[in-house]
Amino acid sequence: MGISKHTHIVLDIRMSLRPTHYERAPRTSVGSALVMTTDNRLSEQLLRAFKEINVATVSTSLVRDSIELIHGHKFEAFVLDTALDTPFLDLLSEIRSSSSNSMAVIMVIAPPGPVCELAQQGGANFILEQPLTFNTILRTLKAAYGMLVREYRRYFRFPIKLPVTVWSSLTAEVQGETVDISEDGMAIRLPYSLGADTDLVIRIRLSARAKEFTTRAKIIRTGEGGLAGIRFVEISSFAKAQLHEWLSLRLEDKFPSLAKHTA
């Protein structure tokens, strides 16, 4: 059971008949976390702690759901209980091999001893050593907060309409409009559709005061009405720095308290 666009379930840890629980992300949430544990009391503590730092959560005890979510959705953080039936190192490896989650913050719940060392060697960023209390969990989440915010910013997409000039060997130069922009690419709308894998040269100015920059890109997905998702494949250090600064300011406008974490 994955997350669909029609999901309207607000997380309630008392609903024990549902093995996987979803919390709708409020507009003020800074990303999301996947909590993998069979311990209901521990799950409740973790979800309360994540709510304290404005992070939305998904909680599951099902390995099948965990793998589907790891490879099908973007999370800023993962909490993995070593008490799960499946070897926790296998799930940890699934996270690190995921295209969108390989750099996410991973926290592993483990008893004191060799398992903690295995978790660290396997790529865990933080160890939640048992026995746990709400306060110890919250302290760890606050310690991880800066890393979590930086991961959120890496995938932050700012919706905006800006004119963009696009060149391809199929069309020569055409005018389009951005739909949203991230550090790795953008969604744009063109007068007509181009196929996936089409190589492009993009020229754009992020604001009236900013200098125009040019970058090479590739279409990675397409939609109706000339919609195209593109990924930057060659971007100058100047353009990258300009884009980084521009997106950081947009993120600070949305979450003023995050300013110190956007460097």
Single residue among 104, 127, 154 that ends a domain in this structure: 154
CATH of the domain at 249: 2.40.10.220
Pair 191, 206 in one domain? yes
Contact by Cβ (8 Å): 31, 151: yes
Mean pLDDT of the region 52-66: 89
Report yes or no on 64 lying in a domain: yes
Residue 210 has pLDDT above 60, yes or no: yes
Q: How many domains does the chain have?
A: 2
Does 159 or 19 have the greater pLDDT score? 159
Residue 1 has pLDDT above 80, yes or no: no
Mean pLDDT of the region 46-70: 91
Amino acid at site 233: V
Residue 98 has pLDDT above 50, yes or no: yes
> Which residue in 73, 12, 69 sits closest to 36, CA to CA?
69
Does 6 or 189 have the greater pLDDT score? 189
Residue 263 has pLDDT above 80, yes or no: no
Report yes or no on 2 lying in a domain: no
pLDDT of residue 17: 31
Mean pLDDT of the region 205-212: 90
Indicate the burial class of 113 (C-beta count within 10 angstroms; 0-12, 13-18, 19 or more).
Answer: exposed
Mean pLDDT of the region 115-139: 91
Contacts of 158 (CB under 8 A, 6+ apart): 180, 181, 182, 247, 250, 251
> Which residue in 181, 223, 224 sits closest to 202, CA to CA?
181
Contacts of 71 (CB under 8 A, 6+ apart): 94, 98
Structure tokens at 163: 């004119």
Single residue among 134, 154, 174 that ends a domain in this structure: 154
pLDDT tens track for 162-204:
999 999 988 889 999 999 999 889 999 999 888 899 999 999 9
Pair 104, 45 in one domain? yes
Q: Which domain holds residue 51?
A: 20-154
- pLDDT, mean over the chain: 84
Pair 100, 165 in one domain? no
Indicate the burial class of 177 (C-beta count within 10 angstroms; 0-12, 13-18, 19 or more).
Answer: middle
Contact by Cβ (8 Å): 197, 219: yes
Residue/partner pairs of 169-177 with CB below 8 Å, 24 or more apart:
169/199, 170/194, 170/198, 176/226
Pair 25, 146 in one domain? yes
- Residue 260 — very low, low, confident or very high, per pLDDT cuts 50/70/90? low
Single residue among 139, 154, 169 that ends a domain in this structure: 154
Tell me whether the omega of the peptide bond preceding residue 131 falls within 30 degrees of 0, making it cis: yes
Residue 220 has pLDDT above 50, yes or no: yes
Pair 252, 172 in one domain? yes
**pLDDT over 70 percentage in the chain:** 86
Residue 28 has pLDDT above 80, yes or no: no
